[in-house]
Structure 1
Amino acid sequence: MNKSLFLTAFKATVPVLFGYIPLGIAFGILFNELGFHWVYATLMATVIYAGAGQFMAVGLLANHAGLMEVAITTLLLNSRHVFYGISLINKFKTNGWRKFYLIFGLTDETYSLLTGIRPPEDKDETDFYLLITALNHSYWVLGSTLGAILGANITIDTTGLDFTLPALFMVLAIEQYKTIRESRPFVMAGAVAFLSIWLFSRDNMLLMSILLSIIVLLVLRRGQKPTEAIAQGSL
């Protein structure tokens, strides 16, 4: 492994590190309260690897939800990843297990990094994307494991840990703005979010925001000249 490439990827994922570790610890503690061995928290973080989905699973398991209820709820919650994947088709220029792992490890935070950070010019971009994905994955597994072990041995007050994820999103949004230096996407995202909260329930806000954003982007793209659309598509 190229040491300089690893260090570059690690520096890029530091904000995620400081978000995933405490958030994973919070999940591990909550998961431990269900009475499962800490190993299952590690296994869940490794194989499922879906922060919001895992927190939701804790509530579903606590209420003895059925398999169909769990499947439908998880599908609706993670449906946003369909749109993430479509936008990254041209970035994932690889096949086999490498492409499979990039798809599997595509979380909200990883997507933000992959779309907001350019790989080093003299390095293979697929290796860079794989390192970012694997590092973020390892942070989540480590945090979840620590939380489950700590929860099984000591009593911890988790008040305030639920703000970790929103804070992480804010940091990543600021980093993306520094990269693209364009305010319109962020203004549009804020407007769509407020409109979704106003028109729909908070439970459906995320999915509706994604759908409205796609509609707005399609309308704006349709109004562009062909040369402008080609230029933007090549960025």
Structure 2
Amino acid sequence: MKKTAKFALIKTIPIFLGYIFLGIAFGLLLQKSGLGVLWAFLISALVYAGSMQFALVGILTGGLSFITTAVMTLFINSRHAFYGLTFIERFKEMKKAYPYMVFSLTDETYSLLCSMARPADFTDREWKQATFFVSLFDQCYWVLGSVLGALMGELIKFDTTGIDFAMTALFVVICVDQWKAARTHIPAVAGFICGALFLILIRTSNFILPALAATVAILLFLRRTVEQKMEEHNP
């Protein structure tokens, strides 16, 4: 377990750097909205959805209805349903850890798990442990950052505008790593084209869901081509 935990710790260092700063930004926002450290800990531990947590600050302070909150949550986090399809069989094999793995599958954790190569000396059990630790460590980083931000609260006297760009930069770095390691770039190109097209058509953050749906449809249509490309590049 020590070996797998060390492996996961090293792999999640980039996410640690991003989650700490963005978590602090969330904690600061929460504190300035009149909600304290306990709220920061509970929301990050039980909700654990970056963009939704920022939206939740306005929901909690604005007194929105349960139905409105549910609809907002569905639209903001609906993309995770597509992510989960990729790992559903892999997570089921983890048995007791399965519910937590589903719960903790964030954008960044998903990207890391997709690009993370299994070491040759890892057994199946050790690989599952490493996968679990990646998800666990990522959430711990987020909780730590949120609590730190809430604790710092009003003591911070600088403009934090733009601090959330740390996550955008992190996602770009992970995307580049995946591009280099991928055996075929068809899925990435399809996702980029669909994302750009629907962003132009819709012009709001709601473009993500239809873009993902279109990407999935294209990949299903090109499934045989993608599989052939994967086989051609098998070592």
TM exceeding 0.5: yes
Question: Once superposed, what is the RMSD of the aligned Cα atoms?
Answer: 2.4
Q: Is 1:38–1:152's contact at 8 Å kept on the other side of the alignment?
A: no
Q: Is 1:53–1:74's contact at 8 Å kept on the other side of the alignment?
A: yes
Match of 2:31 in 1: 32
2: CA distance, partners of 1:226 / 1:155? 52
Match of 1:218 in 2: 220
For 2:81, the aligned partner's letter is V
1:160 is paired with a residue whose SS is coil
Match of 2:178 in 1: 176
For 1:42, the aligned partner's letter is F
- Size of the aligned set, in residue pairs, is 231
TM-score after normalising by structure 2:
0.89
Match of 1:87 in 2: 86
1:65 is paired with a residue whose SS is coil
Match of 1:146 in 2: 148
For 1:111, the aligned partner's letter is Y
Give runs of aligned pairs for residues 96-135 of structure 1, distance below 5 A: 96-123=95-122, 124-135=126-137
1:89 is paired with a residue whose SS is helix
Deviations 1:50-99 (A, max 9, x none): 10110111122333211211111001111111111111123224354311
Task: Give how far 1:33 is off.
Answer: 1.4
For 1:136, the aligned partner's letter is D
1:26 is paired with a residue whose SS is helix
Deviates most, 202-211 or 139-148? 202-211
Match of 1:186 in 2: 188
2:90 is paired with a residue whose SS is coil
TM-score after normalising by structure 1:
0.89
Deviates most, 83-92 or 132-141? 83-92
Q: Is 1:93–1:126's contact at 8 Å kept on the other side of the alignment?
A: no
2: CA distance, partners of 1:86 / 1:225? 20
For 1:145, the aligned partner's letter is V
Task: Give how far 1:167 is off.
Answer: 0.9
Task: Give how far 1:133 is off.
Answer: 0.3
Question: Is there any run of 5+ residues in structure 2 with no aligned partner, and where?
Answer: none
Give runs of aligned pairs for residues 57-96 of structure 1, distance below 5 A: 57-96=56-95
2: CA distance, partners of 1:27 / 1:7? 28
Q: Out of 201, 204, 207, which is 2:203 matched to? A: 201
Identity of aligned residues (%): 37
1: CA distance, partners of 2:40 / 2:119? 35
Task: Give how far 1:220 is off.
Answer: 1.0
Q: Is 2:191–2:212's contact at 8 Å kept on the other side of the alignment?
A: no
1: CA distance, partners of 2:225 / 2:208? 31
